[in-house]
Amino acid sequence: MLTAAGVSDLAAVGPSEIAGHLATLRTGSDDHPPLSAASAARAASAVRGLHRFAVREGLTTHDPAREVKPPTLPKRLPKALDVTQIEQLLAAAGAGLDEPLALRNRALLEFLYSTGARISEAVGCAVDDLDLREGTVLLHGKGGKQRLVPVGGYAREALEAYLVRARPGLLAAGRGSPAVFVNARGGRLSRQSAWTILRQAAVAAGLPVDGDRGVSPHTLRHSYATHLLDGGADIRVVQELLGHASVTTTQVYTLVTVERLREVYATAHPRARG
């Protein structure tokens, strides 16, 4: 592109050439198909890195990329399952496994959906953090921040069944662990193992596990927030429950509910089309 524009020296590159190059990446050319927004953003980052390097090494005296605004990635809505899909996922947890692991897997997924905990917070949870009589759990979030979150009735039942009938036997295989969720060797369950449990349950429930709409470690957390807002919860309350430092982070879930309202309107209103 630079050669076609008559530019053969890196020092001669200006903001207009960079902006033109980034625009071509998105629209495509005779030689290359258009890039997605994410791919174009990565290419723009590479261009900015090249010019910073050139200035730092004394190859050029000016960084023209600083004057070009990088492309803005479209805001991707969180993936959320509907209530029926959540029930299918929870019912499939631990399917085909021996009772201890089946009870643990069901308790883990019920816990994640009931509390909106990140997987790292769930596997980091200790028995002393749980108060099933009061129906609360103390979660240890990012930056050492703690928050007290309610635990729903279904999750309490699943946790009680696991803690009484499964966890003691699993612990016997190891040296003892304060973790709520333990593996078959009696040690703390890892994040990767928790993700595998979720993936296996999704497959058993017939839910997608690959692609943009696949069930991921954050799916239950996204679904938790979306369903709370759908049910009329105040966004500030959801912010506290999720442990977000800013309500701006939580506001993305309001976009999910608006999209759902549009879908319902489009299918239910007799004059929605046209």
Residue from 106, 118, 156, 227 carrying the catalytic annotation: 118
Residue from 104, 106, 167, 221 carrying the catalytic annotation: 221
d(CA 215, CA 198): 8
User: Is residue 262 annotated as a catalytic residue, yes or no?
Assistant: no
Question: What number of other Cβ atoms are within 10 A of residue 210's Cβ?
Answer: 9
Hey, what are 86's tokens?
Answer: 């959540």
Secondary structure letter of residue 136 according to DSSP: E
N- to C-terminal Cα separation, the chain: 44
Residue from 140, 147, 199, 218 carrying the catalytic annotation: 218
User: Is residue 271 annotated as a catalytic residue, yes or no?
Assistant: no
User: Is residue 69 annotated as a catalytic residue, yes or no?
Assistant: no
User: Is residue 145 annotated as a catalytic residue, yes or no?
Assistant: no
d(CA 2, CA 20): 10
User: Is residue 253 annotated as a catalytic residue, yes or no?
Assistant: yes
Residue from 42, 142, 145, 165 carrying the catalytic annotation: 142
Residue from 26, 199, 244, 260 carrying the catalytic annotation: 244
Three-state SS sequence of 95-163: CCCCHHHHHHHHHHHHHHHHHCCCHHHHHCCEHHHEECCCCEEEEECHHHCEEEEECCHHHHHHHHHHH
User: Is residue 244 annotated as a catalytic residue, yes or no?
Assistant: yes
Q: Which residues are catalytic?
A: 118, 142, 218, 221, 244, 253
